[in-house]
Amino acid sequence: MKFALNREFIDNLQSLIEQEESREVLRMLEGLHPADIAEIMEELTMDEAKYLYLQLDGELASDVLIEIPENDRRRFLKVIPPEVIARQFIEHMDSDDAADIVGDLEDHMKEAVLQEIEDKEQAGDIADLLEYDEESAGGLMAKELVKVNENWTVQTCLKEISEQAEEIDEIYYVYVVDDDNILKGVLSLPRLIQKPTQTKVKNLVNADIQSVKTDTPQEEVAQIMEKYDLVVLPVVDHIGRLKGRITIDDVVDVIREEAGRDYQMVSGITGDVESGDKVWQQTRARIPWLLIGTMGGILGARVLGANAGTLDQIPAMAFFIPLIAATAGNVGVQSSSIVVQTIASGSRDFDSFGKKLLKELAVGLITAMFFASVIFAYNFFFSNDFNLTMAVSCTLFIVIIFASMFGTMIPLLLNKLKIDPALATGPFITTTNDILGLMLYMFVARFFFDII
């Protein structure tokens, strides 16, 4: 049953924490999922959260720590001693989760925590993982896996699998390697147990397996797992040695982070921010694009100021300025969003750059003809000025086509330059198209009204 957090629950819990009733606190948390406990901690003060957290046993505490939002977790760990982090939490985690936690710490705390870990093999695995880029396959992978040598017999293999499985929660695949730890393929457990005990593993291996290298970007890892419906993916180095595995839960986190990051870019927010971040962090992330929007507004005002004479002669033109600007921005965002979504999904679109532009030109022409006709019909019946009717309709026609092409071309160019194409959506496209739309409107109006 889903846990429903409410104010009464928090008030009761805070009262018990204040009285240091540890048994009653644990009773209130009994049966809750780690994600629910992490949500509860967000509603408490730092001291209350620390008290609650230290009452949890090692395995539950480690699961809760993973569920806490990254920025909150970083602040929370600052008040926990290194030996507690190491022995109560890190030692109960898989290597990938432990590396994420340790990686969030300041340098002096990283060293202190690693030194406090009693299992030096685990400490070594964590230190190895910290060497990889956190947005690569190496930064995502866990060291824990089950592997066997291709020269072993089925009998030896089953014994080794039984011993290795003690440290792993779920076994998705048994990996087969040679004497140099080169990945050769995977084993099917049902097939393994049906074969005679002296059968060599190399005769049972399935070599048809997807893998990624340690420096493969996390976005590509997610695309591969999605395309082939994989729940786990082995990671190898550049000569094919097995280094670890990536499970689907890690990839789901990547997909969610990338979607959130792209959405923030579309909304005009730079950097990775969360609702729990400090006021200055949130403000600093918003200012750059808002500044660009402000500069765009100033340029738009300059365009109108330079054409003040035209507006004085034809005041009715002013009524259609919001229409021209909004349409240009919206069409540009639509076009760029489709391109960015295609790029982000990893779709293998074989259309050339020119073919994509021609396709968008065709879409833009149809859209432009439709809306130009709608505005023409409106002005024809509700306006007595035929020149204004023609000026607005023609401007809208030109603006829609231009915005479609511009919105398609910019993200494609950014992608070619290895720049995140999500930057081309939102404020950038909107502001640029607003200014160009106004300039086109004034130019077309001067033509129809024969104004020099």
148 phi, psi to nearest 5 deg: -135, 160
Separation of alpha carbons 84 and 78, rounded Å: 12
- 266, 164 contact by CB (below 8 A): no
Element (H, E) at 245: strand 242-247
Give the pLDDT confidence score for residue 267 in this predicted structure.
57
Separation of alpha carbons 76 and 91, rounded Å: 18
Q: Give the angle subtended at the CA of 22 by the CAs of 21 and 27, to the nearest 5°.
A: 100
Helices 218-227 and 248-266: crossing angle in degrees, nearest 10, is 120
pLDDT block averages, 10 residues each, the chain of length 452:
77 91 90 90 87 86 85 80 85 87 87 89 91 92 92 90 79 90 89 84 90 93 89 94 92 76 59 61 70 80 85 86 85 80 62 74 90 90 86 91 86 77 68 85 85 61
Separation of alpha carbons 358 and 105, rounded Å: 51
- 340, 414 contact by CB (below 8 A): no
Greatest Cα-to-Cα distance within the chain, rounded to the nearest angstrom? 97
Q: Give the angle subtended at the CA of 336 by the CAs of 332 and 339, to the nearest 5°.
A: 150
Closest C-alpha among 108, 145, 136, 141 to residue 126: 141
Separation of alpha carbons 423 and 266, rounded Å: 7
Give the pLDDT confidence score for residue 263 in this predicted structure.
61
Give the pLDDT confidence score for residue 345 in this predicted structure.
63
CATH superfamily of the domain spanning 7-135: MgtE N-terminal domain-like (1.25.60.10)
Radius of gyration of the chain (CA): 30
Separation of alpha carbons 206 and 18, rounded Å: 59
Note the helical H segments in 70-151: 70-77, 82-84, 95-103, 107-116, 120-130, 137-140
The CATH fold assigned to 279-448 is Tetracycline Repressor; domain 2 (1.10.357)
Separation of alpha carbons 219 and 267, rounded Å: 21
Separation of alpha carbons 373 and 368, rounded Å: 8
The three-class DSSP label of residue 135 is coil
Burial label for 39, CB within 10 Å (0-12, 13-18, 19+), is middle
CATH superfamily of the domain spanning 146-257: CBS-domain (3.10.580.10)
The amino acid at 359 = K
Report how far apart, in Å, the C-alpha atoms of 438 and of each of 2, 76, 211, 320, 445 are. Answer: 53, 51, 52, 10, 11
pTM score, whole prediction: 0.66
Domain coordinates in residue numbering, the chain? 7-135, 146-257, 279-448
Give the pLDDT confidence score for residue 50 in this predicted structure.
86
| 6 secondary structure, DSSP code | -
Give the pLDDT confidence score for residue 223 in this predicted structure.
86
Which two tokens mark 248?
A: 């689907």
